[in-house]
Structure 1
Amino acid sequence: MNKIQVKTAFITGISGQDGAYLSKLLWEKDYKIVGITRNNHADSLEKLKQLGVDQYVLMEECDLLDISSVITLINKHMPDEIYNLAAQSSVGLSFKQPIGTINFNIVSVLNLLEAIRIIKPDIRLYQASSSEMYGKVAELPVTINTPMHPLSPYAISKASAHWIVVNYRESYGLYACNGVLFNHESFLRSNGFFVKKVLQETVRNHHNPDWVLKVGSIDVKRDFGYSPNYVEAMWLMLQAEIADDFIICSGKSITLRSIIEYVFAKLDVSINKLVIDDAFIRPTDIEDIYGDNSPAKTKLGWQYELDFYQVLDILIEEERAFFERKTHE
């Protein structure tokens, strides 16, 4: 049975975990979904396929650094909402590629906003901001008004994009908002991220006597959450009467070491398998950060009460099930 599609949404960066879970959410809400990718390769659909929504997404190629391409695509589909999840999102990689990171993460946002302003000013834009923007903070928890002190090229690029969104909202009256998402994980998380690395390597190698887990600074603390719940907050932000910026987080932090210890204990792995490797230590790092999610709960009606160890239980089982399927194929 064909659904009656009530709205059209663009999702940039649709090949990532948030793009996949957001696609599933929007499809359930009867949206027409247009996925924007730089290159329309099969791997762009991999996470969508795992959630069973790849057939419901229309994929379009678009270079977000080329404003004429953005304008052409908006003219073609006239979307109601744009969720901008596209970014060079690795903090570590941003130290190796600062110019490329800063250029893409700023210019892509500027092009989307300018195209909206020119073509269809009633489009509602969600911009994926990052808790990394706040960096070295004097007081916790982080609120939307906490002064920013970014500590990486990635954080600098996200802070710049954040203020560009605020400026277009205030100067041109666009419905544009920033969702400042703290770390959020899922089975679909890309391999380069810390929690995914710990889970994947430990599940695959916990019976291997020669294996060790190599990590960098693990006594830093982070605020972790669950991606499927966090994309609900993205959607809620674009349904509000007035555009605003929100912190999306769990509201508490835990050490990276405690995550490793929890996963090792669940899989009966000796802590001796843990190795601190200087190659994984960043030039600068945040010691502790967590946010205040109460405005998102009170103003948006967002609900989130998960403890991250509950999330880890879910992820361990999903990782084990996936590995067992792959082993028997």
Structure 2
Amino acid sequence: MVRKALITGVTGQDGSYLAEFLLAQGYEVYGLVRRSSSSSLSRINHCAEKLHIVSGDLLDQFSLMDAISETQPDEIYNLASQSYVPTSWTQPALTAEYTAIGVSRLLEAIRRCKPDARFYQASSSEVFGQPDESPQTELTAFRPRNPYGVAKAYAHWMTVNYRNQYDLYAGCGITYTHESPRRGKEFVFRKITRGAVLIKLGMLSELKLGNLDARRDWCHAQDAVKAMWLMMQQDQPDDFIIASGETHSVRELVQCAFEHVGLNWQDYVSIDPAFYRPNEPVELVGAMDKIKTKIGWQPEYSFEQLVQSMVDHDLKELSQSQ
């Protein structure tokens, strides 16, 4: 029997890769999209003919219940949220509605309409905020430092509580920063890979960045979505950190990107105080022990491969636009 999956946020980076992955596994894939959505469908255009688009909105309880009742999915992946941290400061209430309360609506819809469905909630390393230990484990205390992290913490604990209270198969993947050629241009990783290419092509003369010593745990979005799927294949639901288990500095990222296009980054990069954030006293880096041991997952892409794949993509895309 063909398994069915419903993905919220299917038009985003993770949603598009997950849809591809599930289609390759033989799933019937449904993507929840807001009818009034202005978001681009470009990330899923290449597989749109194989996808079933369903109308629904995390702000509307009944649309979620209708979507689940109509599709009767075996697995539900919630990848939709307002996910840009700076926007969470300018639109904190909207961030809470989608990223926090929207998950409550979705969990309640599952409980009422398809309680045997398996549910994946996209949690985030932003729930840790400024942690008291490094690396962080699944038991590290949550100390979010922005509205996005607060909303994700709420969604995480609601998922855990629905799992315990109603015996739902529901698990949270605490994903650290993950990137790909489909990453939005507003995020620093893509800003750097794209900036290097723009300079190489003579379309930009300078790249302004903030703290080059800031370190992050980065992995590829394709690796992350495979971890999400593996989580849903386990006998019992659980929560897992999805990360690379290592950190790299923004400086390393810049050097790798510019070297890949044959440039010396020091000739083109300048520091702008407007983008500067101080070093965190404790690094955000995920402990890999649990996910490696319990489900046998670890990233396939190295940091260098991730950077180079994004630079190559940007080079191809921008060269064609010249």
Which aligned pairs between 1:105-254 and structure 2 lie closer than 5 A? 105-208=99-202, 211-254=205-248
Whether 1:312 aligns to 2:307 is yes
Report the identity percentage: 38
- 1:33 aligned onto 2:29: yes
| Aligned-partner Cα distance in 2 for 1:199–1:120 | 43
- Gap change, CA 1:285 and 1:103, over 3 Å in 2: farther
1:42 offset after TM fit, Å?
8.1
Matches within 5 A, 1:65-144: 65-144=59-138
Residue 270 of structure 2 corresponds to residue 275 of structure 1? yes
2:12 match: 16
Q: CA deviation at 1:69?
A: 0.9
Q: Kindly tell me: are residues 40 and 232 of structure 1, through their superposed partners in 2, closer, same or farther at Cα, counting changes over 3 Å?
A: farther
SS in 2 for 1:234: helix
Any conservation in 1 of the 2:244–2:298 contact (CA below 8 Å)?
Answer: no
- Tell me how far apart the structure 1 counterparts of residues 10 and 40 of structure 2 sit (CA, whole Å): 7
Count residues with an aligned counterpart: 321
Maintained 8 Å contact 2:213/2:279: no
Query: Which residue number corresponds to residue 291 of structure 2?
Result: 296
Contact 1:152 1:284 (8 Å CA) reproduced: no
- Per the alignment, residue 54 of structure 2 pairs with 60
- 8 Å CA contact 2:224–2:242 kept in 1: the answer is yes
Q: CA deviation at 1:137?
A: 1.3
The SS at the match of 2:29 is strand
Unaligned 5+ segments in structure 2 are none
Shift of 1:284: 9.6
- State the partner residue of 1:259: 253
Determine helix, strand or coil for the equivalent of 2:270.
strand
Residues in 2 aligned to 1:285 and 1:298: alpha-carbon distance in whole angstroms: 29
The structure-2 alpha-carbon separation of the partners of 1:216 and 1:304, relative to structure 1 and needing over 3 Å to count, comes to same
SS in structure 1 of the partner of residue 232 of structure 2: helix
Change (3 A) 1:269 1:23: same
Structure 1 residue corresponding to 2:321, chosen from 317, 320, 326: 326
Specify the code of the residue in structure 2 equivalent to 1:110. S
Greater alpha carbon shift after TM alignment, 84-93 vs 312-321: 312-321
TM-score under structure 1 normalisation? 0.92
Write the distance in 2 (CA, Å) between the matches of 1:129 and 1:236.
Answer: 16
Shift in Å at residue 67 of structure 1? 0.5
TM-score by length of 2: 0.94
- Give the match for residue 46 of structure 1: 42
| Gap regions ≥5 residues in structure 1 | none
CA contact (8 A) 2:215 2:248 kept: yes
Task: Confirm or deny: 8 A CA contact 1:247 1:293 kept in the other structure.
Answer: yes
Residue deviations 1:240-275 (CA, integer Å, cap 9, x gap): 100000001110111112211221232214414222
Change beyond 3 A, Cα 1:139–1:121: same
Which residue identity does 1:23 align to in structure 2? A
Per-residue deviation at 1:40? 6.1
Q: Tell me, what secondary structure is at the counterpart of 2:224?
A: helix
